[in-house]
């Protein structure tokens, strides 16, 4: 199965971001990608954290969700929609959910995952606290993707900071996942230090492929994200990568190779704790 990790440098204009995402997804679909994944905050990276509150949509209805459904249907792809702001239930005037939605080629929404782990960082110069504008999710989520070659792939969903919490990915491995999605907007400093190491570790320890679309560049709000969108094989090898700037990262996932790796090293069956 050919997959695509879409790298973006999203700005403050939603329509401009959606137009760029559509062009990149069309490029991926034309190259034969069946599963295409957008980065965290693909639809907007505002000037302030609270800017996303004005864009929140109720689950199941709204212009960004409609765009995702229509794009998946028009391009005939499985589309993992990075993240978008969904309204909390019950409503919270100060917070939203940072949600990843997945759409089938039919345009049907087949999975929802709300980011569980909320990023907090303070090095004396830069401060981030996602809990000021986000409400954390509490449920893992998977979906099954029947690819054109007849294999059924199980895909586990996560977002950015989740990457530092291996228990979530072990849950997915235990649930039979073959592929892990990690749409992200890693800061430049933490990404430079840890991004590739963490992605490869999650692949190796769970014998799963990892698709990691990211924000990568200097944004309108002054923030710089690390980028380095990549696809990692279940053996921990980087199959494809783009360091910075908008683009499409394509790679082929081989179900037979995945099965061989798990047979050669059946580490998942050797757990004792």
pTM confidence score: 0.97
By the 10 Å C-beta count (0-12 exposed, 13-18 middle, 19+ buried), 151 is classed as middle
Active site residue 160: yes
Is a pLDDT exceeding 90 seen at residue 201?
yes
User: 135-150 pLDDT, tens per residue?
Assistant: 999 999 999 999 999 9
The domain locations on the chain are: 2-269
DSSP 184: B
Residue reference for tokens 């100060």: 94
pLDDT mean over 89-99: 95
User: 73-86 pLDDT, tens per residue?
Assistant: 999 999 999 999 99
User: 35-63 pLDDT, tens per residue?
Assistant: 999 999 999 998 888 789 999 999 999 99
Residue of 36, 160, 208, 244 marked active site: 160
Active site residue 40: yes
Is a pLDDT exceeding 80 seen at residue 101?
yes
Look up the CATH architecture of domain 2-269.
4-Layer Sandwich (3.60)
Residue of 20, 40, 130, 244 marked active site: 40
Residue of 20, 52, 115, 130 marked active site: 115
E strand or H helix that includes residue 129:
strand 127-129
On average, the pLDDT of the chain sits at 96
Active site residue 220: no
DSSP symbols for 32-54: T-SEEEPPTTTT---SSGGGGGG
Provide the pLDDT for residue 50: 79
- If phi > 0 it is left, if psi is from -120 to 50 it is alpha, else beta; for residue 124 that is left
Q: How far apart are CA 55 and CA 81, in angstroms?
A: 15
């Amino acid at each position: 199965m050919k997959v695509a990790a879409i790298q973006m440098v999203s700005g403050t204009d939603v329509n401009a971001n959606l137009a760029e995402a559509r062009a990149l997804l069309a490029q991926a679909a034309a190259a034969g990608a069946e599963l295409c994944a957008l980065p965290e905050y693909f639809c907007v990276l505002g000037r302030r954290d609270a800017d996303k509150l004005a864009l929140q949509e109720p689950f199941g209805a709204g212009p960004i969700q409609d765009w995702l459904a229509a794009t998946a249907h028009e391009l005939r792809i499985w589309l993992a929609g990075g993240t978008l702001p969904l309204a909390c239930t019950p409503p919270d005037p100060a917070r939203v959910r940072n949600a990843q939605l997945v759409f089938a080629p039919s345009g049907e929404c087949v999975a929802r995952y709300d980011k569980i782990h909320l990023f907090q960082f303070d090095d004396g110069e830069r401060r981030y606290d996602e809990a000021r504008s986000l409400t954390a999710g509490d449920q893992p989520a998977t979906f099954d993707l029947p690819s054109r070659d007849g294999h059924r792939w199980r895909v586990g969903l996560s977002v950015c900071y989740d990457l530092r919490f291996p228990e979530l990915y072990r849950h997915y491995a235990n649930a039979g996942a073959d592929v892990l999605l990690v749409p992200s907007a890693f800061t430049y400093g933490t990404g430079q230090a840890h991004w590739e190491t963490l992605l490869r570790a999650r692949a190796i320890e769970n014998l799963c492929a990892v698709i990691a679309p990211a924000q990568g560049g200097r944004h309108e709000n002054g923030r710089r994200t690390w980028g380095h969108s990549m696809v990692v094989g279940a053996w921990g090898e980087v199959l494809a990568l783009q360091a910075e700037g908008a683009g499409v990262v394509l790679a082929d996932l081989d179900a037979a190779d995945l099965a061989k790796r798990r047979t050669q090293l059946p580490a998942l069956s050797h757990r004792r704790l």
